[in-house]
Structure 1
Amino acid sequence: MLIQEIIKIKRDGGELSAKQVQEFVKGVTEDTTSEGQIAAMCMAIFFNKMKIAERTHLTTAMRDSGRVLQWADANLDGPIVDKHSTGGVGDVVSLMLAPMVAACGAYVPMISGRGLGHTGGTLDKLSAIPGFDTFPDPDKLKRIVKSAGGVIIGQTPDLAPADKRIYATRDITATVESIDLITASILSKKLAEGLDSLVMDVKVGNGAFMPTYEDSVALAKSIVEVANHAGCQTTALLTDMNQVLASSAGNAIEVREAVQYLRGENINPRLHAVNMALCEQLLINGKLAKDKADANAQLQSALDSGKAAEYFAKMVTEQGGPADFVDNYDNYLVKANVIKPVFSSNVGTLRAMDTRSVGVAVIGLGGGRRVATDEIDLSVGYDEILPLGTKVEKDTPLAVIHAKDEQSWQAAADALLNAVTIDEGTYEPTPEIYEVVE
């Protein structure tokens, strides 16, 4: 069937069959479908939407456009699981979640990305660890997963290659915001990992990717329905992004906080609540825990005993990082030239934070990319960020800024002061977890 005829069906509001979707994706992968045709299909989907069956067809066709990881020959004795976040500021969960669930008997072949827009990227954070290899060959990847319980890597060209081409076209045709296309893009890469179970962290709030709560719920439900239809048991949590999740925002700074968390030295309550909730779902879905209480007990034991930190250390070592990184992380993580606090200019309660602006300020410091070719300054960002609800005076430090020079520090200080609301009003807290979509 001609590609233009397939596009015509969706343009006119029709429902595409599995065969028609597969034919379209095959053309994308083999480069016989033009960029104009991809753009036309994306726009048709954007306006006419897809039914769940169509979304599943698109997701699985994109998944199958490249290599799908197979684990039968690895003889793993536990479930293969992963987590994906829609992105946030100070969202360093992946670095703790992978070793924690691995310490409880799961295997985590996590494919992550670089920073996107105002949100930080897990691969950028891991690049702060000297020698860390995010692109091991397939055989090495399997060996690391089996021996270390988990691996965190980047998307290779042979994993869901159709997604890369479709996304590039969406990016220049104003069709990024389609829930149908977002669902297929996220899940095609995740399902290519050969997972038994997945947990989605869908952010809500002013620092979230989705603009409204309703959009976040719709995306969570779409991902859960499509992933389960595709054979991967999936749950989604809607979590708060109305303030920075961790106490820090910035690549090396967040890695430091993640290691301190695993070592029991610095546990931010909000970060801990979100991380534990995601981990609990994976253990329950992976049949490693009978209920939330059982999962929580196992995870807390993995933290308290140091077992989770040991798993992280092994993953770092096997992916090329220093063998003593967890014990001596401060010897390896780069530090900025200027490190000093920014103080509150008001007296009152820290009532609100424009989280997106904080993420943009990290980019302004050099900790993210304005264009794809930008080199990232791994040392810069914010640390010791005060949580909302804190009572402050004019001499209370709101955060510690890590910058390359005084001019950059001042710009970051101004950005943070403009991003927060401090007055005598009442603080209305928001929950860490809004709801669970099963």
Structure 2
Amino acid sequence: MALHRLQTPDQANMLSIPDLIQKKKRGGVLSDEEVKTFIRAVTNKTIQDCQTGAMLMAIWQKGMVVKETETLTREMMSSGEVMSWPKEWAGLVVDKHSTGGVGDKVSLVLAPALAACGCKVPMISGRGLAHTGGTLDKLESIPGFNIHQSAEQIQKILGSVGCCIVGQTEMLVPADRVLYALRDATSTVDSLPLITGSIISKKGAESLSALVLDVKFGRAALYKDLESAKELAESLVNVGNGLGIRTGAVLSCMDGTIGRCVGNSLEVIESLETLKGKGPEDLMELVTTLGGILLLMTGLVSDLPAGRERISGAVTDGAALSKFRAMMEAQGVAAEAAQSLCSAHTDYYSVLRKADHQSELTTPAEGLVSEVDGLVLAEVLHKLGAGRSKAGEPINHSVGAELLVSPGQRAERGVPWLRLHYEDPAPTPDQMNRLRDALSLGTDTQTQQKQSLVKKLLLPQ
């Protein structure tokens, strides 16, 4: 894979950083050259952290118009190396991004399913932080799986397998690495243009043909309501399309969990079960919808129902499972371990780590399961070692939970509804009480069957 660096003229001697901060602080619209000057200074480290923080706060307070956000994103994308692909892959290079959820193992099923449909998927993913899980952490629970791949290795894996799931390389979007850290330190993480720039710049550096975004809303999501999530989705779609990437989005509800398993090793097991045709309906709904949109945007199908059907077929006929096995081996997993994980009847814990302790919670009364609070579940698991509060902290891949009931299911009193997997530290009485309170039971008239997670689609015209 060829890599090229996009150069822009250095305007640092012509435009004053304090003047740019002042202009944005007063609500002015920065010109293309002014945005370039700011990002160049960030990348070249010719700007003080306090000045960068001041600009981030000014952007947080005053916002950016679409053109400003588009320029910011393009300059961030161009701050490092930009991937390029063989001509025969034109129109087929695709990826997906999720804004984070509980039990979100969609990428582990979607990437190999797309590869089985003929796409090339250079999926650059992230790690979990706070209560949200990270795709890289899930995959690293598989012994030997190497998420660190060079540009040349990525192209080689795409050529032979069709998909890979890797971490961001040092060469891609260095400006985002600086801004991301300072956004956290300056409490500007929730700025719409800065979120848009961070997400789309990294995807733009992959030189994608098409991108689909899973924008979550609900109690366990960054955005709690549909309208604010829609605003983010529209910003991402507009800027992505403005950069020449066919971009669509799905707005999906994130109150509970996706699937029945939360925690790194457990989510790998559930992903493998899904690839073997035994996955939960809500997970498959997201996989087929997101994948169907990408197949539609690449022109491999003529409409969304056909795209959904083709993705579903790749899972049910075993083609996606074969791709996942090939991807594991290409990224360092021993062939024997990969074969064992993908076999029809296997003891997953012969390969994956199993927690030392399991404990079940039982239902306090008879009733229909209304919901399980995904945020509470994720927060308790985080405290037990499944997640991290700061980048670089170690996690315990074996910690997690299995839901033993589904919304709409009738549960008798004393029936187990949650199996907790833990090691050291053991859950405290307060944490166990929080978990018990996460279960909501209702009556026949109060409780409905679990509804569709997908609430709205935003597709390019």
User: Normalising TM by the smaller chain, what interval?
Assistant: over 0.9
**Structure 1 residue 373, shift from structure 2 partner:** 4.0
Residue 28 in structure 1 maps to residue 42 in structure 2: yes
Matched residue, 2:32: 18
Q: Within 5 A, what are the aligned runs for 1:182-331?
A: 182-264=195-277, 266-329=278-341, 330=348, 331=350
**Structure 1 residue 409, shift from structure 2 partner:** 8.0
Q: Which moved more, 1:319-328 or 1:395-404?
A: 319-328
**Structure 1 residue 341, shift from structure 2 partner:** 2.2
1:156-178 Cα distance to aligned partner (Å, 9 max, x none): 22111111111111111111111
| Cα distance between partner residues in 2 of 1:297 and 1:59 | 34
**Structure 1 residue 406, shift from structure 2 partner:** 8.6
| Cα distance between partner residues in 2 of 1:402 and 1:327 | 25
Matched residue, 1:437: 458
TM-score (norm 2): 0.91
Q: Which moved more, 1:415-424 or 1:45-54?
A: 415-424
| Cα distance between partner residues in 1 of 2:119 and 2:354 | 34
Q: Within 5 A, what are the aligned runs for 1:6-405?
A: 6-72=20-86, 75-76=88-89, 79-264=92-277, 266-329=278-341, 330=348, 331-404=350-423
Q: Which moved more, 1:425-434 or 1:226-235?
A: 425-434
Does the 8 Å contact 1:313/1:325 carry over to 2?
no
Indicate the SS of the match to 1:82: strand
| Cα distance between partner residues in 1 of 2:123 and 2:358 | 33
Identity, % of aligned positions? 37
| Cα distance between partner residues in 1 of 2:365 and 2:190 | 38
Matched residue, 1:408: 427
Unaligned runs of 5+ in 1: none
Mark the CA change 1:46 to 1:360 in structure 2 (over 3 Å): closer, same or farther.
same
| Cα distance between partner residues in 2 of 1:111 and 1:41 | 28
**How many residue pairs align between the two structures?**
436
Structure 2 residue identity aligned to 1:20: E
**Structure 1 residue 326, shift from structure 2 partner:** 4.5
Does the 8 Å contact 1:88/1:119 carry over to 2?
yes
Does the 8 Å contact 2:57/2:188 carry over to 1?
yes
| Cα distance between partner residues in 2 of 1:385 and 1:77 | 45
| Cα distance between partner residues in 1 of 2:434 and 2:387 | 15
TM-score (norm 1): 0.96
Q: Which moved more, 1:348-357 or 1:107-116?
A: 348-357
1:116-167 Cα distance to aligned partner (Å, 9 max, x none): 2210000100111111111111111110011110110111221111111111
| Cα distance between partner residues in 2 of 1:339 and 1:410 | 16
Structure 2 residue identity aligned to 1:427: T
Structure 1: which 4+ aligned runs deviate by more than 4 Å?
409-412
Structure 1 residue identity aligned to 2:60: F
**Structure 1 residue 377, shift from structure 2 partner:** 0.7
Structure 1 residue identity aligned to 2:447: Y
Q: Which moved more, 1:396-405 or 1:284-293?
A: 396-405
Match of 1:427 among 447, 452, 456: 447
| Cα distance between partner residues in 2 of 1:436 and 1:343 | 38
Does the 8 Å contact 1:78/1:105 carry over to 2?
no
**Structure 1 residue 385, shift from structure 2 partner:** 4.4
Q: Which moved more, 1:275-284 or 1:381-390?
A: 381-390
Indicate the SS of the match to 2:230: helix
What is the RMSD of the two structures over their aligned residues, measured on CA atoms? 1.7
1:342-397 Cα distance to aligned partner (Å, 9 max, x none): 21123222223322111111112211113334321111101134332322222222
**Structure 1 residue 241, shift from structure 2 partner:** 0.7
| Cα distance between partner residues in 1 of 2:206 and 2:301 | 22
Indicate the SS of the match to 1:110: strand
| Cα distance between partner residues in 1 of 2:262 and 2:433 | 16
**Structure 1 residue 286, shift from structure 2 partner:** 1.0
Structure 2 residue identity aligned to 1:297: E
Structure 2 residue identity aligned to 1:432: L
Does the 8 Å contact 1:338/1:409 carry over to 2?
no
Does the 8 Å contact 1:248/1:385 carry over to 2?
no
Structure 2 residue identity aligned to 1:14: G
| Cα distance between partner residues in 2 of 1:247 and 1:411 | 23
Does the 8 Å contact 1:243/1:388 carry over to 2?
no
| Cα distance between partner residues in 2 of 1:113 and 1:387 | 29
Mark the CA change 1:423 to 1:260 in structure 2 (over 3 Å): closer, same or farther.
same
Matched residue, 2:5: none
Does the 8 Å contact 2:129/2:390 carry over to 1?
no
